[in-house]
Chain A
């Protein structure tokens, strides 16, 4: 069988397995041990480990460096790249560098606006100039060009094709909802091989959008992995429902969390139930699991969801 990039994630999906990716946020420091510890905790539990690219516009260790540290620790990274901070020259240069270092999966994102960094205790960099030379869909096409045509965006040849398994994000329940499936279609048209979605709590509404994507043939053209964020409290669920665009948390789940004696345990239980429910949706190829600042919960959840051990490839 020939692969586009031959990453573990690509092979797991190609073999018809239910794929599992998790998220590893780099630290706000230069300490490699933070990444190594997370890798030791999560090694063997997932098929891909997303490394975020200065998420919420807060300066962190670069996703490229974080991805290499994970790779060295035996976890296959999914390098996240946003269009916020780099133009097409820097993006392509980093992609060549990432490939040279052995990184095979890349998730293309627009990126959080620099104003998003001003929250809580952090000052962020709200006065920063953003770039957006490309948007996420154009970045997907750039990766596809490097891989399939060995061409840079400007048309110059690259000596050898640059093998990436190309990913994109999807926020199926954001406004305008009717446009979101069309935007997914554009991402797949531009080059996405796999899709990781915004966090799903409302399986019914997500399922309806997924069904539309399936009717359009999109679930055969790209592997869609549903996003799941481990809820830690009712407050967190309410916050996400109100403030995070595209995240819809049903009232019933919030109530369950409110009345739970042990919210952490309840959150784990809800997560496992969500994964089970999502796994039953026709056309869904996996889940993308995130436990923000609580990665230690993941092994337990993954075991309870019956997703461990991961398939032999």
Chain B
């Protein structure tokens, strides 16, 4: 899923300066799963914003709404009846949702309430770790189902750098597994270490953001 984290409170409050009526919009999909922008987080953040504004001597009215998905136009449309009353929108969706609202309601400032960080899995309650970098050229078939593009700090494709800690963690973060150590272990368990001996050629990064904004154009799906 797409995961995100709340922006720091001081940054949010700075954005709210001068705003009288705020439309705070959550998204019930990915960011709800990672407890950053679902209905519960919207209803938690709203009173915090009101209190902080009151403390600064202002009155902030916060209208809350959580959409099924902020990245789908049919759901975004539900906001049309609420936007006339608002002078700004704070979206707790990922960057896709924020942009969808800004595109549908161009007359209003739409601010991001979260930082979208990665495509992650929930390892255990309260812990999400990156699994996919959306690089557009999947290598998982050659790396025993573990992604070095997303999970190696250097996105190395031919094995671990010299920085693997004794306990198999990454030199960059003592809490992160060296994915190449995991790949090696899985290859060994399968008895296929020879697969890792193959020198992988330079990757084609043009299918990731480096080739310009991504596009999938399927004429067969148009009506």
Contact of B162 with A138 in the complex, beta carbons under 8 Å: no
Contact of B158 with A138 in the complex, beta carbons under 8 Å: yes
**Residues of chain B having any CB pair with chain A under 8 Å:** 153-168, 171-172, 178, 180-181, 184-185, 188, 193, 196-197, 199-203, 205
A residues near B160, Cβ cutoff 8 Å:
174-176, 179, 183
A110, A115, A133, A185: the one within 8 Å of B161 (CB): A110
Contact of A198 with B159 in the complex, beta carbons under 8 Å: no
A residues near B178, Cβ cutoff 8 Å:
175
B residues near A148, Cβ cutoff 8 Å:
none
1/0 per position for A174-216, CB-CB distance to B under 8 A?
A: 1110110011011001100000001000000000000000000
A residues near B193, Cβ cutoff 8 Å:
179, 182
B155, B166, B203: the one within 8 Å of A175 (CB): B166
Contact of B162 with A198 in the complex, beta carbons under 8 Å: yes
Contact of A113 with B162 in the complex, beta carbons under 8 Å: no
What is the minimal beta-carbon distance from A136 to any residue of chain B, in angstroms? 8
Contact of B154 with A135 in the complex, beta carbons under 8 Å: yes
What is the minimal beta-carbon distance from B164 to any residue of chain A, in angstroms? 4
1/0 per position for A103-117, CB-CB distance to B under 8 A?
A: 000000011110110
Is the contact region of chain B dominated by helix, strand, or loop, or is it mixed? loop
A residues near B185, Cβ cutoff 8 Å:
176
B154, B163, B181, B197: the one within 8 Å of A84 (CB): B154
Contact of A113 with B154 in the complex, beta carbons under 8 Å: yes
B157, B180, B197, B205: the one within 8 Å of A185 (CB): B197
Contact of B163 with A138 in the complex, beta carbons under 8 Å: no
What is the minimal beta-carbon distance from B16 to any residue of chain A, in angstroms? 26
A residues near B164, Cβ cutoff 8 Å:
174-176, 245-246
A115 and B166 CA atoms in complex are apart in Å by 19
Contact of B159 with A113 in the complex, beta carbons under 8 Å: no
A245 and B202 CA atoms in complex are apart in Å by 26
A185 and B159 CA atoms in complex are apart in Å by 12
What is the minimal beta-carbon distance from A154 to any residue of chain B, in angstroms? 9
B residues near A130, Cβ cutoff 8 Å:
154
A31 and B129 CA atoms in complex are apart in Å by 44
Chain B residue nearest in CB terms to A138:
B202
21 contacts between A and B (CB under 8 A): A110-B154, A112-B163, A133-B202, A133-B203, A133-B205, A135-B154, A138-B158, A174-B164, A175-B181, A176-B160, A176-B181, A179-B180, A179-B196, A182-B197, A183-B158, A185-B197, A186-B158, A189-B197, A245-B163, A245-B164, A245-B165
